[in-house]
Amino acid sequence: MANDARIPTRVFIGLTLVLAVSVAWPGADRGAVSAQEEAVREMFVRVRDAATQTPITDMRSDEFVASINDVECEIVSAELVATRLQLALLLDDSGAMRNYHSHFLAGMPAFLEALPEGSDVSLITMADRPHILLDFTTDMARVEATLEDYFPRPSSGAAVIDTIHRTADNLLKEDREDGPDEGQGIPEGELFRPVIAMVGSDAGDVSQGNNETKVNNLFPKLRELGATVHWLILENNHTGLQHNMSQFFTEATGGWSGRVPAPSPLAAETISLMGAIIAQQWAPMANQYRVTFKVPPGADPDAGVAAGVRRGGVAIKVSLDGRHIG
């Protein structure tokens, strides 16, 4: 939305959503903020030139505005944050993938080329159990070289849900650990946006335990991460558990799902497409400002926040978590 230089560009966002991704309001009944408190909240704002859509990267903190019930909030800080895509690529290397092997490898260079510059990528396989083939790295040449070690293992099955669980657990760790099969935690200093991309068959799941219970326990982890799940099924059976999980997790997290009915060059093309879709979905999250503001004393927790900028000729998008750009 463009704006006159004299009138702040504003958008309206629900305060209750702020509470969902920030600290809870004091008091069990979520009453108004008392006069003695200085509750601090944050939002993410993307600013672009209204005509060219070029990112604006020189905004000052005094150019941002926020208000609740027409009462202006004090802006504490505004900083342009580095936002990096963190992609956990989950690869089915069970025996069911043997006829897709060459097509998978043919599609991966274009998949990696489509990712945003500076993406952090890890490779996790799942034949019988989860195994970290490559910990997170921004070195795409190293990723491509490691993929040469990817081979389907005869007489093995895919531990699908166990692999997603382990990936989510590692992403939730605060500190990255070094070495094979170690953690993939999120380093400090950057705003990471984790994505889990599954490429696998539909030949069943050999994960240990009750899969229904594991699926139910997994979703809270993905929600805490703010992770998006994308899923490409390279079909053998054309039905089964993977189809149900793919639909559930992609719909719940805003991801993409696709299917290839049989081994063919279409598999390589669809893998390439998957990379492009991941990049396209991530693009709006780049070049955002983290804006921190104080909630006015007496604010109604069910009110909304009006946010904007004091600069003409720009268009803004506002998000409460840096992911859901409204």
How many beta carbons lie within 10 A of that of residue 224, not counting itself?
11
Of 30-34, 47-51, 134-138, 280-284, the range with the lowest mean pLDDT is 30-34
Residues 218, 101 share a domain: yes
Residues 301, 272 share a domain: no
**pLDDT the model gives residue 13:** 44
Average pLDDT over residues 152-173: 93
CB-neighbour burial class of residue 289 (10 A; exposed 0-12, middle 13-18, buried 19+): buried
Residues 200, 93 share a domain: yes
Query: What mean pLDDT value characterizes the chain?
Result: 82
Asked, for residue 57, whether it belongs to a domain, the answer is: yes
**pLDDT of 25 above 70:** no
Contacts (Cβ under 8 Å, ≥6 apart) of 9: 1, 2, 3, 308, 309, 311, 314, 315, 316
Domain that holds residue 26: 9-73+295-319
Q: Which range has highest mean pLDDT (29-43, 120-134, 203-217, 307-321)?
A: 120-134
Q: What is the pTM of this model?
A: 0.76
Asked, for residue 222, whether it belongs to a domain, the answer is: yes
Strand 288-294 versus strand 74-81 pairing type = antiparallel
Q: Which range has highest mean pLDDT (146-155, 236-245, 300-309, 313-322)?
A: 146-155
Residues 173, 26 share a domain: no
Residues 203, 263 share a domain: yes
Question: Which tokens go with 104?
Answer: 């998978």
Asked, for residue 162, whether it belongs to a domain, the answer is: yes
- pLDDT tens, residue by residue, 27-72: 334 445 454 456 888 888 999 999 998 999 999 999 999 988 888 8
Higher pLDDT: 225 or 142? It is 142
Residues 259, 229 share a domain: yes
**pLDDT the model gives residue 224:** 86
**pLDDT the model gives residue 172:** 86
Asked, for residue 205, whether it belongs to a domain, the answer is: yes
Asked, for residue 325, whether it belongs to a domain, the answer is: no
**pLDDT the model gives residue 195:** 95
Average pLDDT over residues 171-193: 52
Of 25-39, 54-68, 102-116, 154-168, the range with the lowest mean pLDDT is 25-39
**pLDDT the model gives residue 120:** 92
**pLDDT the model gives residue 321:** 73
**pLDDT of 295 above 90:** no
* Counted domains in the chain: 2
Higher pLDDT: 7 or 44? It is 44
- pLDDT tens, residue by residue, 184-222: 444 444 566 799 999 999 998 999 887 788 888 998 999
Count of residues for the chain? 326
Asked, for residue 78, whether it belongs to a domain, the answer is: no
CA distance 326 to 315: 12
Asked, for residue 230, whether it belongs to a domain, the answer is: yes
